[in-house]
Amino acid sequence: MIVCGETGSGKTTQLPKICLALGRGRAHGGGLIGHTQPRRIAATSTAKRIAQELGTPLGEDVGYQVRFADHTSNQASIKLMTDGILLAETQADPLLKKYDTIIIDEAHERSLNIDFLLGYLKQLIAKRPDLKLIITSATIDAQRFANHFASHGQAAPVIEVSGRLFPVEQRYAPLQVDGQKEALEIPEAVCKAIGEVWREGAAGAGDVLVFLPGEREIRECAEALRKDPLLQQRFHPEILSLFARQAVSEQERVFQSGNGRRIVLATNVAETSLTVPNIRYVIDSGLARVKRYSYRNKVEQLQVEPISQAAANQRAGRCGRVADGICIRLYSEADYQGRPAYTDPEILRSSLAAVILRMAALRLPNIAQFPFIDKPLGRAIVDGMQLLEELGAIESTTEPDLHGQHRVQLSAIGKALAELPLDPRIGRILLAAREQQALKELTIIASAMACQDPRDRPMEFASAADQAHLQFADERSEFLSFVKLWNWYQEALKHKQSNRQLENQCRSLFLSPRRLREWRDVHGQLHVLLAEKGWKENQTPATYEQIHTALLTGLLGYIGKRDEDASDQRGNKAGDYLGARGIRLFIWPGSSLGKKVGAWFVAGEIQETTRLYARTLAKIEPQWIERVAKHRLVKSLSDPFWDKERGEVLAFERATLYGLPVYHGRRVAYAPHDASEAHQLFIQKALVDGEMFGKVDTPALERETQAEAKRRYGKLFAFFWHNRQLIREIEALEHRSRRPDVLVDDELLCAFYRERIPETVYSRSGLQAWLEEDRANLEQKDQSLRLQKSDLMRHEAAGISADRYPKTIVMNGVSLQTSYHFEPGSPKDGITLIVPITVLNQVDAIQAEWLVPGLCVEKVQLLLKSLPQKIRRHCIPLPESAKQFVQERLDSNSFGKGDLTDCLMRFVRNQNPIEIKRSDFRPEALPAHCHMNFRLIDEHGRQLELERNLNRLRSEYGGMAREAFQSLADANIKTVQTDQAQASPIQKGSYQAWDFGELPQTVTMTRGNQTIQGYPALVDRKIAVELEVFDDPAEAKRVHRQGLCRLYSVVLKEHTKALHKQLPHAREIGLLFIQLGSVEELIEHIGMMAIERAMLQNQEPTNKMQFEESLKQGKPRLMLIAGEIAKHVLASLQEYAELHKKLIAAKALSSSAYDDMRSQLQGLIHAQFVKQVPYEHLVHLPRYLKAIALRIDKLRSNASRDAQNQRDWESVARPWQRMVQESKGMLGMNDEHNTRLREFRWQLEELRVALFAQELKTPMPMSVKRLEKVLASLR
């Protein structure tokens, strides 16, 4: 029967009494009259009302059972209960035999329990014709329900009952009125509406019931009402609230009549069944907080949504019971008309996992065939199945039934879950707790999760509540906070003085006494239930890992991981966590962990309100997830590679749980996943690339690896080392000849091995086993796997020989190793000379330009190609000319001797009588491999630098090289070999006479296998000389000449003193020089120049006899030569003095000319000019200075001509200056070039004379064009 009774018709209280009067119930020998309500509040209040009307104590004839409370007796006829209680009874009593009548009240709410009960009861009444079923509501779709329960083609009877005592006026007061820009806030609109209706009703006005979406809105509205001056001053209302989480005492205040006017602020709990007394006005916000389940994100969403028309009518029906009622809707009539007629059934917006589980346990038909009033969505069914699979509750599906549907087959876990009256997730946690020996702690936590949180956190006292709850907080887990709170509560119960004292204590800590009791009741029921099943609690405390591993089994979809990318960009924010299936999570603001939650957490609940919040958090380790969620991990492999340690092909494994990376980069065997590709990679990497025992980059490492392999495996892998050596030889030929096409492709090598090695071999151990499986054929297998040169080479590498690509190059007696590498664009491309730091300054830059014969041919060909076409055409064919040039140099044993470009120019001139100069070549256009590469190494063989510019290398490391050489020389000086067999070993020391025997040009030192040349020289130490060995012959020569002069000076001590005293013009020189520097030093420099010209005009002495002979011949000329030098110095200083006065006047004529002349003058006359200017140029200094004076005179009359002359001079001077800068550090073997650069400096002075003072004449013809040619030869 379908009873559609209007609000106020009394259907809720009268229908059970009518059934009783009709002879139903135990009082008449029948069963119970079961009466379900959607909420506990409605069930308990309705039971009290019926008992009161029947005049019997509650619990005797009329009782109620809600979760955690059973107030029924054995003789009771009417039992009020929540729909969940009746649903739970179907588990133990599938036919509901103890009931003869069942009333399903408020069916319009269409909760999950109600829909499941309606479907279940539809099947049940066919089996129990004696069972009477009444479905009732004020706003039910009666015809639809009647059709659903049709029997034999006849719809169930429908009874409509009128019941509203007084008419209700509907008013619409939308928050935003047309034409107004700003909308009212709900609290503001409520205050306004209440003021209006109370003013209209004056003294006879009743109470107001306000429907709001949630607890937060109730508190905001209550605050606004208390602050409204009109309402407070005129009406003094009592403001009450009603919502599900409220304390029972607060809820009961609503149902008690008051003395004054009352405003009741309620959620949708007051829509049905409950009758709040004296309500005359209803104010409907039109909103409710609706729970919806997101099938995509697998989380619950608690969003504020507009209610349906049926719900709006239910709300309006709450008034008009005591007088004419008024319902004010805070939305427009058009809005109302546009809303859906009925609220979406919960089955269309909930997770169906629990329903599917229960149906499978009851062996009911497949959910798709079950007679629900509204068929659940396909994706909802899939989602429920997925959750059960996640929990391990589903084993498989059976054969299709008569309808072609698969019935769900529960696993052992699923059957155990179905026996637990808990959410499947919580039930799964308890099952895992038993395995983890953590049942004691998890029973506490699970019962807490099954109840409302006993901790209160009122918005207006949020901070105080958080502070009070800190004593229960755990620094790692909010689940353990429940355990701490439980232990506190148990102790408080033991030591309580009275119930009131305990309740006050709880409230002071913002704990709900009612919810604590409910928690305790659930825990007690669970404890008894699990004990009956024989589950035993752990006696020792469970570890953190045990507890949270158990929690993870039921909460795999509630895992969060910090989003490191977002954290790096924004700092660690509350929303920087990723959840399952790509959702972004926020930490609930009331969480005690907050930012301390760590990289991974598990949440007890994820709910979407304004954001997607994770609540009840605990830190976890990702390895726990891996252990618990093996059946749900999605694994993928990437980047397979050969691992020499394990001797097999591995890959990097990545595992994700619902998109969250649990681990990545784990090395796992690749063969079980793809044996064919593992075989291919094994052949490629281990055999073809030669990495069977790892990468061996150096010959020493290869020798060591080969020795170790032979020790472990004997001759088992002999073929491998044979093939490797053969490939190395051919690769070396490729690099030397710069021909990358000698060695065959890898694919041919792979094919060679694939033909001989079975596909089942994909590791070193597998190859070993295959080779050893038939010892008799081991030698035959080894031979079949050996490569021959013909297998490896595409063609013969003609023209590649050791003499053209030598492994060493000898420079100045030092043998230096070479290496060859063919890789265009690489820094290592071409030939590399390996240079120990000790011999850096002995590398012959000129010889290095020749490279080696095999590579010089290409370099020469490219140099010829860079010539202008009119010259190049005489050298065609260029390859033949290049080969001829190199071969002629080899035949004449002159390869590497002399400047390459000069030699090439002579060769071209000899072949064709044409004009060719250095500037015709463009060496800068040559590719990098046509220049020698220098790899500088330290004493341990470690690379310091790789550089093609020897000049730059010496500039940076020249000092270090000299120190290293000196250190070597100091260690070897007593045992070095001289270049003369008869010479005695040289000894370093300080000398004032030739007491050190024969002085060789070179000495030979050894360091390990390395032979090094040194160059002994005397070093000037003012009062004596010291014998030292140098690494650079040019530097040794320069220093030695100064040292020899000093030794002559020391030996001729008395003569030197006399020279200083009797030097002609000494006084005049001193007076003129005193402004420039030390006069004593100047006399010293004149004396040393005189000694050099007197004693060293011929060959330098190499022994004592030659030294004394030169001393004997030069001593008589010494004073005369000194006087000659003094004359030139005096003349230069006199010219300088005169010129210094004139130069000041030139500044006003031309600043450019002035700067140029001042710079020239500073370069000619300075404190060290006698020491630094050679005698042959010293004699010309007075003429250069006179030229400057003449330039100043001419400047007055023709400044423009002077400027042009200056530009002409700079056109050759500036390129020379750049060349000098570039040549710095270019020591030793390039000394000839440096000497020519230094000579060019004096040619520039002669050019100044020719340009600015032609009348002074020059020793030879001089012009800009002549110097440009000289400059070109220097490039």
Domain coordinates in residue numbering, the chain: 2-161, 168-296+305-348, 675-792, 808-955, 973-1051
Rounded CA-CA distance 784/753 in Å is 9
Please report the beta strands in 12-131, taking only residues with DSSP state E, as ranges in sequence order. Answer: 32-37, 62-66, 69-71, 78-82, 99-104
Q: Report yes or no: 762 and 671 within 8 Å, Cβ to Cβ.
A: yes
Q: Is 867 helix (H, G, I), strand (E, B) or coil?
A: coil
Q: Read off φ and ψ for residue 890, nearest 5 degrees.
A: -70, -45
Structure tokens at 582: 């790509």
Q: In what order do the strands lie in the sheet with 99-104?
A: 69-71, 62-66, 78-82, 32-37, 99-104, 132-137, 2-5, 158-161
- How many Cβ atoms sit within 10 Å of the Cβ of residue 922? 13
Rounded CA-CA distance 982/980 in Å is 6
Residues 135-153: tens digit of each pLDDT: 998 777 788 889 888 888 7
Residues 918-938: tens digit of each pLDDT: 888 999 889 999 999 999 998
Which is nearest to 138 in space by CA: 107, 180, 103?
107
CA-to-CA dists, residue 659 to 297, 618, 633, angstroms: 12, 20, 9
Residues 55-83: tens digit of each pLDDT: 999 989 999 998 767 899 988 999 999 99
Burial of 1249 per CB tally in 10 Å (0-12, 13-18, 19+): buried
Q: What is the pLDDT of residue 322?
A: 75
Torsion sign across C-alpha atoms 792, 796, 798, 801: positive
Which is nearest to 124 in space by CA: 144, 151, 94?
94
Structure tokens at 892: 């004449």
What single string gives the DSSP state of each residue in 900-932?
Answer: HHHHHHHHHHHHS-----GGG--GGGS-GGGS-
| Residue 1229 predicted with pLDDT over 50 | no
pTM: 0.56
Question: Running DSSP on this structure, what letter comes out for residue 469?
Answer: H
Burial of 1141 per CB tally in 10 Å (0-12, 13-18, 19+): exposed
Which is nearest to 883 in space by CA: 895, 871, 873?
895
Packing angle of the helix pair 1181-1197, 1118-1149 (nearest 10 deg)? 20
Q: What single letter denotes the amino acid at residue 1062?
A: Q
Residues 819-862: tens digit of each pLDDT: 999 888 899 999 999 999 999 988 999 999 999 999 999 999 99
* Residue labelled with tokens 């060493």: 808
| Residue 982 predicted with pLDDT over 50 | no
Burial of 811 per CB tally in 10 Å (0-12, 13-18, 19+): buried
Within 13 Å and on the Cβ side, how many CA atoms surround 1120? 6
Q: Is 989 helix (H, G, I), strand (E, B) or coil?
A: strand
In CATH terms, the superfamily for domain 2-161 is P-loop containing nucleotide triphosphate hydrolases (3.40.50.300)
* Residue labelled with tokens 């479905």: 135
Residues 498-520: tens digit of each pLDDT: 888 998 999 999 998 888 988 89
CA angle 1053, 1058, 1059 (to 5 degrees): 95
Residues 1164-1193: tens digit of each pLDDT: 999 999 999 999 999 999 999 999 999 999
- Give the residue with greater pLDDT, 1236 vs 653: 653
What single string gives the DSSP state of each residue in 1077-1117?
Answer: S-HHHHHHHHHHHHHHHHH-SSPPP-SHHHHHHHHHHHGGG
Q: In what order do the strands lie in the sheet with 262-266?
A: 168-172, 325-329, 279-284, 207-211, 262-266, 238-242
Residues 8-32: tens digit of each pLDDT: 678 889 999 999 999 898 877 788 9
Q: Span 168-296+305-348: which CATH code?
A: 3.40.50.300
Rounded CA-CA distance 443/421 in Å is 13
Rounded CA-CA distance 11/8 in Å is 8
Q: What is the mean pLDDT of residues 621-630?
A: 94
Q: Report yes or no: 214 and 304 within 8 Å, Cβ to Cβ.
A: yes
Same fold yes or no, 2-161 and 168-296+305-348: yes
Mean pLDDT for all residues in the chain: 87
Rounded CA-CA distance 693/686 in Å is 8
Q: Report yes or no: 443 and 519 within 8 Å, Cβ to Cβ.
A: no
Q: What is the pLDDT of residue 581?
A: 87
| Residue 891 predicted with pLDDT over 60 | yes
| Residue 249 predicted with pLDDT over 90 | no
The strand pairing partners of 739, in sequence order, are none
| Residue 345 predicted with pLDDT over 60 | yes
pLDDT band of residue 814 (cuts 50, 70, 90) is confident
Rounded CA-CA distance 141/144 in Å is 6
Distance of CA 894 to the CA centre of its chain: 59
